[in-house]
A = this chain, B = another copy of it.
Amino acid sequence: MGYRDELDTPCLIVHEPILRRNVEEMAAFARQQGVALRPHFKTHKTAEIARMQREAGAIGFTCAKLGEAEALADAGVADDVLLAYQIVGEQKLRRLLALMDRITVTVAVDGVDGAAALSAACRDAGKTLDVRLEINTGLDRAGVLPGEPALALAREVVQMPGLRLTGIMTHEGHVARARNADELAEIAQRAGTAMVETAALLRANGIPVDTVSVGSTPASWYTPTVSGITEMRPGTYVFNDNSAFRFGRVGVDGCALRVLATVISRPAPDQAVIDAGSKTLAMDPPQGRAGHGYIVEYPDATIARLSEEHGVVLLPPGLEGLQVGERVEIIPNHVCPVVNLQDELCLVRDGAVVDRWPVVARGKVR
Chain A residues in the interface with B (C-beta under 8 A): 5, 7-11, 42, 64-65, 85-86, 88-92, 110-111, 113-114, 117, 136, 140-144, 173, 262-267, 271, 273, 275-276, 278-280, 282-285, 305, 307-310, 312, 323-325, 336-337, 340-343, 362-363, 365-366
Contact = CB atoms under 8 A, between A and B. Distances in A.
Contact of A366 (B8, B363, B366): B8
Considering residues A11, A92, A280, A363, which has the most beta carbons from chain B within 10 angstroms of its beta carbon?
A: A363
A38 to B, nearest CB: 17
Contacts of A9: 89, 366
Nearest to A63: B309
A275 B324 CA distance: 41
A279 B282 CA distance: 10
Contacts of A283: 278, 282-285, 337
B325 A265 contact: no
A186 to B, nearest CB: 22
8 closest residue pairs by CB, A with B: A283-B283, A142-B265, A8-B91, A86-B264, A113-B324, A64-B309, A88-B264, A142-B273
A117 to B, nearest CB: 7
A88 B142 contact: no
Contacts of A265: 86, 110-111, 114, 142-143
Contacts of A92: 8
A365 B341 contact: yes
Given A142-B267, A341-B341, A342-B365, 12 more contacts: A7-B91, A9-B89, A85-B309, A86-B265, A113-B325, A114-B265, A114-B324, A142-B264, A279-B337, A279-B340, A280-B365, A283-B285
Contact of A308 (B64, B110, B279): B64
A363 to B, nearest CB: 6
A7 B91 CA distance: 8
Nearest to A94: B8
A113 B309 contact: no
Contact of A267 (B8, B11, B111, B325): B111
Contacts of A310: 141-142
Contacts of A273: 86, 141-142
A279 B341 CA distance: 9
Nearest to A307: B141
Contacts of A11: 366
Nearest to A359: B363
A266 B8 contact: no
Contacts of A271: 140
A64 to B, nearest CB: 4
21 contacts: A8-B89, A64-B309, A85-B309, A86-B273, A88-B262, A89-B262, A117-B325, A136-B267, A140-B267, A140-B312, A141-B267, A141-B273, A142-B310, A143-B267, A279-B340, A279-B363, A279-B365, A283-B283, A308-B337, A342-B365, A362-B363
Nearest to A92: B8
Contacts of A91: 7-8
A86 B261 CA distance: 13
